[in-house]
Structure formats: structure tokens, C-alpha cells
Amino acid sequence: MNVFKTTALLTLMTLIVLFTAQVLGFDLIVSLFFAFIFNFIMYFYSGKLALASTKAKKIEEGQYQDVVGIITFLTQKEKMPMPDLYIIENDQPNAFATGRNPKNASVAVTTGILKVLTRDELEGVLAHELSHIKNRDILVSSIAAMLAAAISFMSRMAFWGGGSRDRNTHPLIVVVAFIAAPIASIIIRMAISRTREFGADKTGSELSGNPLALASALEKIEQYSKIPMPVNPAVSQLFISDPMKAFTRPSIGKLFSTHPPTKERVKRLRQEASGIRFR
């Protein structure tokens, strides 16, 4: 179901790109090219940016044996390559995974998450992160970002007089393409991000075999979410929980949130543990 929702959202965003290009009179290929170049860089370097912005350090041999042991067990179970492992010196419990494919992947955890979670809960979190790698969520997010960037590019160029709008186009349609399309693309991109988090929760709980442990971990992570952790906003969606909560207002609508509400994630995991299938 999560795959279907992601596909539907990407299709909708693609239609918005085509609509915007048509109404504002832009060469679609050129717009997508510039968007592709920007997101190509992010696709290959977002992981390094996330690691650098959190000052993550690579886990050396003999360090953090719980993390290494759990990841080794899970990757062998799934026949996945062993990712590079990193530690972030921060009290906020959090973790993230990145990598354009399983052979070029990294998993990072904070020192805070090691202090707060039990081993079973930590396994649930790490299984969630490996699921992002397994499901190639970085690729999906990059495609969504490229399409959103193309819409933003065309709208900004139109603002500065670019494009070749048809004089017969109804002004209301132009306004929709100029203002509503970029907002819609952001909302859809955030919806894709939330859908991938739900997907990683489900796959991760199946991988660990313990949905309740992941649910418990998410609740604990939420309790400590107001501990500040400086992170580049561009990579905040990589984390299992939004690391920017300490710097954002609770009133921000969930339409523009990169992560689903913790209560909803916990609810779905508990339903899964009880045998209830969530649609």
C-alpha cells in the first residue's frame, strides 16, 4: 500500500510539472535538466552533508559493539552489504540512514539514543534505518525533490519575466500554475516523505520481528525530541524523527511535515503487532 501511495503521489507531482510547464510556457526538458543537476549533487552528497552537519564520527573497530552487533545480525539476515557506521555526539535520541544504494550506505546514531533505548528498541530503530536503504528511499526522495525543484524553477523564472505564456490562457489558470503548483509540490513531497517513514516502520518491524519495540523506541525518542541538535534542514528528513523539533513551533501543520505524527506511527505498529492490517 505504501508503494502504491508513493507511486500515485509521484505521478501526481509529474502531472503538476507538465501542467506548470505548459501554462507558463517553459521548455520542460530545460527545467528538468536544471532540477536534475541540483538534485544529482544532493543524491550523491546528501549523506556526506548530513554526516558533516552533525559532526558524525565513523565507528572504529571495537567501539559501540551493540550497534555493530545488531547491524551485522540484521544485514546478514537480509543478505545486505554492511553499511558504514557512525556515531553522533548529541544527547537527542535519533538516527538516520543514507545511501543511493545498499552498497553505498551509512547508518548513524546519536549517543543519546544509546543511553535511552533498550537493546530491543535499538534493534527496532536500526531495522527501520536499514529498511530505508533496502527500499531505496533515498532514490524516491531524490526523484520527488527533482520534480519539486523543476516546478519551483519555472515559477521563479516566470516571476522574473521568463517563459512565453499564451495570451489566451485564462489568468486564473496562470495564477494556479504560478502560486498553487509550487505549494502543491511541496505538500506532495512532504507526503511522500511521510509515506516512506510509514513504509520503513512496517518493513523495519518485520525485519526485527518486534513492532512493539520500535513503537516503544519512537515514544521515547519523542519524549526527548526537544533536546537541540544542530542539523542542516536540507537533510532533516533522513532522520527517524525530525531533529529540528527543538527549533520549530508545534503549530506547523502536518501537511508540511517531513515525518508522520509519532502517535500515528505508534498506533500502526501496535495494530501490526496485534495482527490488524492497516490500509
Give catalytic residue positions. Answer: 129
- What single string gives the DSSP state of each residue in 83-116? PEEEEE--SS--EEEEESSGGGEEEEEEHHHHHH
Q: How far, in Å, CA of 207 to CA of 202, rounded?
A: 9
Alpha-carbon separation of residue 128 from 64, 103, 197 (angstroms):
19, 17, 9
Q: How far, in Å, CA of 264 to CA of 272, rounded?
A: 12
Reading the block at residue 63, the C-alpha cell is 567501539
Terminal-residue alpha carbon distance, the chain: 7
Torsion sign, CA atoms 204, 136, 87, 54: negative
How many Cα atoms occupy the beta-carbon half-sphere of 52 within 13 Å? 6
- DSSP code for 165: -
- DSSP code for 210: -
The amino acid at 11: T
- DSSP code for 169: S
